[in-house]
A and B are shown apart, each in its own frame.
Chain A
Amino acid sequence: MLFRIESAAVQSLIETLRQRKYTVIGPTQRGGSIVYDEIASSDDLPAGWGDEQRPGYYRVHKRTDNAWFSFAVGPQSWKKFLFPPVYTLFTALRRPKGFSVPKTNGQDKDKSREKLAFIGVRACELKAIEIQDKVFTSRTYQDPNYRKLREQLFIVAVNCSSPAETCFCASMGTGPKVTGSFDLAMTEILDGNDHYFVVEAGSQRGEKILETIQRRPADPAEVSKAGAVVTEAQSRIKRSVDTAGIKDLLCQNSDHPEWDKVGERCLSCTNCTMVCPTCFCTTIEDSTNLSGSEAIRSRRWDSCFTMDFSYIHGGSIRSSTKARYRQWMTHKLASWIDQFGTMGCVGCGRCITWCPVGIDITDEARVIRENNHVEQ
């Protein structure tokens, strides 16, 4: 059932969520980009801000309207909230004999940050969350912190109206229309002075929240306008990846000369893995206080592009940049399928935008496919 809510109702939505102890996180314009952070009201939303993205290029600019969601995606993804960049696993305490690991760790004591609400999750980002759900909560060993946050997470998804040049969700089957496990999904409509949203609930939780804000059933014209936003967005998506048989294509072309070429351009700066909403590699670090009475073990984001990512005694398995780029891209588009049943890429385009040398994953996939050397 589709409803129309006025833009002012978004403020009510935020307030209702906050009353129910949700930490509301949404997009906001800061420091030359649009980032995700805690927001207190709809005033914090990036009204009138748009973005322009190209390989190795990102700028925000003021638009002539006051749309809240007329940008694509910023450098950050929602993963930083569900899967924090630095996370304390435990603090071990030295004892007269040996050490002990107490039952709670510091991070978990902060109950106030456990109920999260995301406002403005795009179709590709929703798919990315679902992909990380598989990584962290569907296998033998799971991330209990992710699971806990995810179970309580309230998702307000938003359909894209302004995809960037670097977006390629359509060919990846992840967008631009929002589908999947959202609580509410909205499409922003600006029609002259009219600023409203066509919204639907995707869960019982979503329905309950929707009941608390002022709304009326959307009329056919409004529904049609909402559909047009999606269609228009779809038509503006320029890039694509031909994913037919991509698993075999990449696995069978591990000696393709294109890997050497891209290996020469790649700086192994790890930007792509940091901005990617599905990358999940981590490393573990140990530190002690000065007296040694406490030893903290923390988990932090890592990247397969670092030189020592694959280090075993004697040296790194992937010491060349070429091998590391190949690992990342093959994992993202091919091995992920064997591991988790889907590709790891959602076509958000961040890796293309934020690569300092503008390496374009869609281009790389195309070149390899066009000059397919099937290996013996």
Chain B
Amino acid sequence: MESLEPILTSHPFFRDLDQKYVHLVTGCASNVRFDAGKFVFREGEEAQHFYLIRQGKVAIEIFTPHRGHITIETLDEGNILGWSWLIPPYLWHFDARALETTRAIALDGKCLRKKCEEDHDLGYEFLKRFAHIMEQRLTSTRIQLLDVYDVHA
């Protein structure tokens, strides 16, 4: 079985992370695959992993009574999916569904949280990276909210 360590090392998310930490994190990593149409996770479930998408496309969705499933955002190759594993109560707020066959590396949340508690430097490195992702998502979401293409202002 291929070692996931070189894959993690070369992923932009882990750039500049000390190699000893990459090694540590690899211990929590596994290869996963989702067929088209399958849920990666469901709203309300325990957030046990986060994912580095290697191939495919995942839709972050929410279900509403009147409008059914609405896709809020899509993520694909290279994107990071999921941060609820890091923030209590560690539950997913949205559904995530694979739109096409998707391969990803799943990182075990509980395992990582334990390692971050033991080594706060590692914890800080993770939080820095996730803060960056959240900032990007927030900015993008804000622009989506602005509804810039809508002319009937």
Question: Residues of A with Cβ closer than 8 Å to B?
Answer: 313-315
Contact = CB atoms under 8 A, between A and B. Distances in A.
Q: Majority SS of interface residues in chain A? A: loop
Interface string B141-153: 0000000000101
Tell me what chain B mostly uses at the interface: helix, strand, loop, or mixed: loop
A315 B153 CA distance: 8
A1 to B, nearest CB: 66
Interface in B109-153: 151, 153
A244 B151 CA distance: 44
Nearest to A315: B153
Contacts of B153: 314-315
Contacts of B151: 313-314
4 closest Cβ pairs, A-B complex: A314-B153, A313-B151, A314-B151, A315-B153
A89 to B, nearest CB: 29
A171 B51 CA distance: 70
Contacts of A315: 153
A313 B151 CA distance: 7
Nearest to B152: A314
A158 to B, nearest CB: 53
A219 B153 CA distance: 73
Nearest to A314: B153
B150 to A, nearest CB: 9
A313 B153 CA distance: 9
B46 to A, nearest CB: 45
B139 to A, nearest CB: 22
4 contacts: A313-B151, A314-B151, A314-B153, A315-B153
A308 to B, nearest CB: 15
B151 to A, nearest CB: 5
B118 to A, nearest CB: 45
Nearest to B153: A314
Nearest to A313: B151
Contacts of A313: 151
Nearest to B150: A314
A314 B146 CA distance: 13
Contacts of A314: 151, 153
A314 to B, nearest CB: 5
A310 to B, nearest CB: 15
Nearest to B148: A314
A314 B147 CA distance: 12
